[in-house]
Amino acid sequence: MANDFLFAEEPEEIAPVSRGSWKVLIVDDEPEVHAVTKLALSDFSFQGKTLEFISAYSGREARDMLAKHTDAAIVLLDVVMETDDAGLLVARYIREELHNHYVRIILRTGQPGQAPERQVIVNYDINDYKSKTELTAQKLFTVVMSSLRSYRDILAIDHSRQGLEKIITASADLFSAHSMEQFIDGVLQQLTSILGCNDNALLVTSSLVAGNINEEADPDRLVVFAGLGQFEKQEGKQISEVLEPPLLDAFHQALQSRSIVYRDNYLVAYCTSKFTSGSLLYVSGLPNQMTETQKRLIELFSQNVQIAYENVQLQSEIEDTQREIVYRLSEAVEHRSIETGNHVKRVAFICYDLAKAYGLPEEEAEKLMFASPLHDVGKVGIPDGILNKPMKLHGQEWEVMKTHASIGYEILKNSKRTIIQAGAMIAQDHHEKWDGSGYPNGKKGEEIHIYGRIAALADVYDALRHRRCYKSAWTLEQVLEKISSESGKHFDPKLVEIFKSRVDKLEAILQKYPDEE
């Protein structure tokens, strides 16, 4: 028994987890140089990444490889290959034709006199210059390590610059949906750059509107708001469609605990504010050791990104409220007439369609759509007896009715809101005529604001196609004939042609929003 020895079992060797690789392009016409370089750097690792070697044996082959591998971190470049300056021509190609100022170029030469060091460093944007005779395995390790650090820092700076550009661009118009997505995307990019992690980042939200303070977010209804890396172009999808089960579990845990969950090399942070709950931030590729400063940065981001998002929601809610008030005010005016219906809604959509076809920008077309319901707001100043008279107006009655255009303009003209200002223009100009015979100011041609010209055609078209207290609804053929005959008289000729080419789509609007019985 004394001769029996017990030995502890050797622990299984745990292979290091690789988080990718750094691409190193070896350019040399001697195969032995390639083999020795790969051998000397075979166990090299930096920030959890190994080296991926790409070989080129001539200047021409190197150019092909560089065009293909734009993310190469280092080029170990020989000077003399098929020509005495083949390597220098490759360096010039990298900087001047590919405009790649990120890759680190280490010039290796067996004939230092062929390419003087000072001249080469200055003229060819070379990052290091080594003679092959002095480049031992240790020195090769050192130069590759220092070059990779430089490459990493340059990428981080550029990544941060791009993120900052997105934030600045979006901040100029932060309260539009597109710019908010761009703003969040830029901040995510900045965050991943500062943390030194990869580009995989994600912000998901329950999309709760301001005011739903007590409503809990449903984990299964969280949707992607912004994403980088593998989550790019996933906006609008539910996280159950985008995430694998282990990651989905981390999202649920962060939402339930209302905290930041760290797992392996990624985190999921809960974002909240006084209005809503339910936004989560995901960032992967974290450094091995997170500093307290980095953790504090994530906490600040998770707090502030939700506030920024909700500010946009509040702005959107204010705009929606303004538009609803405009519609309801306009409908209240319409309801003073005997007929009730969807006239203002139809006119709004017809105006938008004609404006887009006319060539107005999206912003202008939308402004016209939201303001057009105010075209007859001045009728609040017209007596019921005249407004609802079932017969043709005569003499003084007609003169009173015509004042509704000026009344509407006076009601709206002093507003500082763009939609109300547009409504004032429409109210004033929608009874002017192309030939100058309209009212209240006898404007003609392009003196009439384009909003007024479009609203005039939309208003007449809808009025003719529907019953009024003084007439029956016209057929489409009758309306087309009438509007065509008024081209150049009542209506802008260009608009008439657009109207005739799109009448099927405009008829669909009438069918979608019929008058109530």
Mean pLDDT to the nearest integer, 40-56: 91
1: confidence class by pLDDT, cuts 50, 70, 90: very low
pLDDT mean over 382-401: 84
* pLDDT at residue 488 is higher than 80: yes
Residue 207 reports pLDDT greater than 60: no
Lookup: tokens for 225: 């708001």
Q: Is the dihedral of CA 460, 466, 470, 471 positive or negative?
A: positive
The H or E element spanning position 106 is strand 104-109
CA 273 vs CA 140, 201, 208, 213, 214: distances in Å: 52, 21, 12, 9, 12
User: Which range, 69-78, 272-281, 385-394, is most confident?
Assistant: 69-78
Which overall architecture, per CATH, does domain 335-512 show? Orthogonal Bundle (1.10)
pLDDT value at residue 385: 83
pLDDT at 211 over 50: no
Q: Identify the band that residue 199 occupies on the pLDDT scale cut at 50, 70 and 90.
A: low
pLDDT at 494 over 80: yes
Rank 77-81, 383-387, 448-452 by mean pLDDT and report only the highest: 448-452
Instruction: Return the pLDDT at 115.
Output: 58
Is a pLDDT exceeding 70 seen at residue 163?
Answer: no
- Residues contacting residue 66 through CB under 8 Å, at least 6 positions apart: 25, 72, 75, 90, 93, 94, 98, 100, 103
Is residue 462 within 8 A of residue 381, CB to CB? The reply is no
Question: What ranges do the domains of the chain cover?
Answer: 21-154, 173-314, 335-512
The alpha carbon of residue 41 and the mean position of all alpha carbons in its chain are separated, in whole angstroms, by 43
Alpha helices in 465-516 (DSSP H): 476-485, 493-501, 503-512
3-state secondary structure of 46: strand
pLDDT band at residue 11 under the 50/70/90 scheme: very low
- Count of residues making up the chain: 517
Paired strand residues for 263: 266
pLDDT category at 18 given cuts 50, 70, 90 is very low
Range among 62-71, 250-259, 266-275 rated most confident: 62-71
Residue 199: closest CA among 242, 168, 232: 232
DSSP string for residues in 193-217: HHHT--S-EEEEE--PPTT-TTPPP
CATH number of 21-154: 3.40.50.2300
Average pLDDT score over residue span 57-63 = 93
**Phi, psi dihedrals of residue 312, rounded to the nearest 5°:** -70, -40
Query: What's the pLDDT at 15?
Result: 42
Tally of CB atoms within 10 A around 31:
10
Crossing angle between the packed helical segments 137-171 and 177-195, to the nearest 10 degrees: 160
- Distance from C-alpha of 239 to C-alpha of 247, rounded to nearest angstrom: 10
- Is 289's pLDDT higher than 80? no
Is the model's pLDDT at 145 over the cut of 50? yes
Least confident of 69-83, 164-178, 310-324, 328-342: 164-178
Question: Which residue has better confidence, 226 or 369?
Answer: 369
Q: Which residues are catalytic?
A: 379
Tell me, what's the pLDDT at 384? Answer: 81
- Range name among 17-21, 146-150, 326-330, 355-359 with the lowest pLDDT average: 17-21
Q: Which residue has the higher pLDDT, 329 or 480?
A: 480
**For residues 188-194, average pLDDT:** 71
- Mean pLDDT across the stretch 132-142? 85
> Whole-model pTM?
0.48
Compute and round to an integer the Cα radius of gyration of the chain: 35
pLDDT for res 329 = 72
Give CA angle at 494 (488, 499), nearest 5°.
105
Question: Average pLDDT of 94-114?
Answer: 84
| pLDDT tier, 204 (very low <50, low <70, confident <90, very high otherwise) | confident
Q: Which of 512, 508, 471, 479 is nearest to 339 (CA)?
A: 471
Instruction: Give the confidence band of 2 by pLDDT, cuts at 50, 70, 90.
Output: very low
The second-level CATH assignment, the architecture, of 173-314 is 2-Layer Sandwich (3.30)
* More confident site: 507 or 3: 507
Q: What pLDDT is attached to residue 313? A: 65
Return the pLDDT at 219. Answer: 61
Confidence grade of residue 173 (pLDDT, cut at 50, 70, 90): low
Least confidently predicted of 260-264, 444-448, 486-490, 496-500: 260-264
Percent pLDDT > 70 in the chain is 76
Q: What's the mean per-residue pLDDT of the chain?
A: 81
At 241, the amino acid letter reads E
Confidence of residue 341 (pLDDT cuts 50, 70, 90): low
pLDDT of residue 327: 67
